Amino acid sequence: MGFQAVSSESTEDRRAAGRTPFEGRVAIVTGAGSGIGREIAETLAAQGAAVGLVGRTLDRLQEVEKAISERGGSAASHQADVTDIDSLHDVVHELGAEFGPVDLAVNSAVSGAGQKFLCDQDEESWLDTIDTNLNGAFRLCRAVVPTMMERRRGSIVLVSSVAGKRGVPANTAYSASKFGLNGLIKSLAIELGPSDVRVNAVCPGLTNTQMLHNEDLYGRDFMDSIRTHFGPPDLTWPRFWKSAVRNTDLQRLIEPEEVADLTAFLLSDAARSITGESMSVDGGSP
Name the residue ranges covered by the structural domains of the chain: 14-280
Q: Return the axis-axis angle of helices 172-192 and 136-151, rounded to nearest 10°.
A: 10
Tell me the whole-structure pTM to 2 decimals.
Answer: 0.92
Report the pLDDT value the prediction gives residue 6, as an integer from 0 to 100.
42
Is 218 noted as a catalytic residue in this protein? no
10-residue stretch averages of pLDDT, the chain, 286 residues long? 43 52 97 97 98 97 98 98 98 98 97 92 95 98 98 98 93 96 98 98 94 77 92 91 94 97 98 98 89
Report the pLDDT value the prediction gives residue 68, as an integer from 0 to 100.
98
Q: In Å, how far are 132, 149, 150 from 107, measured between CA atoms?
A: 10, 18, 21
Active-site entry in 174, 179, 218, 237: 174
Report the pLDDT value the prediction gives residue 218, as an integer from 0 to 100.
67
Helix residue spans in the chain (DSSP H): 11-16, 35-46, 58-70, 85-98, 123-130, 136-151, 172-192, 210-213, 219-229, 237-246, 256-267
Phi, psi of 215 (to 5 degrees): -60, -30
Distance, in Å, from the CA atom of 277 to the CA atom of 1, rounded to the nearest integer, reads: 26
3-state secondary structure of 158: strand
3-state secondary structure of 167: coil
Residue 29 DSSP class: E
Q: Specify which residues 281 forms β-bridges with.
A: 204
Domain 14-280 adopts which CATH fold?
A: Rossmann fold (3.40.50)
CB 173 within 8 A of CB 221: no
